[in-house]
């Protein structure tokens, strides 16, 4: 039986306090969201491929909520 589940790529850089989560390994680019901490990665059609979070340690104070 083949495993058809999607795989995520999750990477954290503790030195840069940066988290990146990629849903789909396709060409794309990062663009701003309504939060200055979050960037979304999209393909040329605007489909969300993943996201990145800056200053992850700042999330200890309160949860971060962003629409992608």
Q: In this structure, is residue 51 part of a structural domain?
A: yes
Q: In this structure, is residue 25 part of a structural domain?
A: yes
pTM: 0.82
Digit-coded pLDDT (tens) for 20-66 = 999 998 999 999 999 999 999 999 999 999 999 999 988 877 788 88
Q: In this structure, is residue 4 part of a structural domain?
A: no
Q: In this structure, is residue 14 part of a structural domain?
A: yes
- Print the domain residue range for 51: 9-57
Q: In this structure, is residue 68 part of a structural domain?
A: no
How far is CA 30 from each of CA 34, 40, 62, rounded to the nearest angstrom?
13, 5, 24
Structural domains of the chain, count: 1
Q: In this structure, is residue 46 part of a structural domain?
A: yes
Q: CA 21, CA 30: separation in Å to the nearest integer?
A: 12
Digit-coded pLDDT (tens) for 7-23 = 899 999 999 999 999 99
55 DSSP β-pair partners: none
**pLDDT for position 32:** 95
């Amino acid at each position: 039986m083949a495993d058809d589940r999607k795989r995520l790529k999750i990477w954290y850089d503790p030195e840069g306090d940066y988290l990146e989560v990629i849903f789909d390994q396709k060409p794309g680019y990062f663009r701003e969201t309504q939060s200055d901490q979050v960037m979304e990665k999209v393909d040329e059609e605007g489909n969300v491929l993943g996201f990145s979070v800056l200053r992850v340690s700042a999330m200890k104070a309160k949860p971060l909520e962003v629409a992608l």
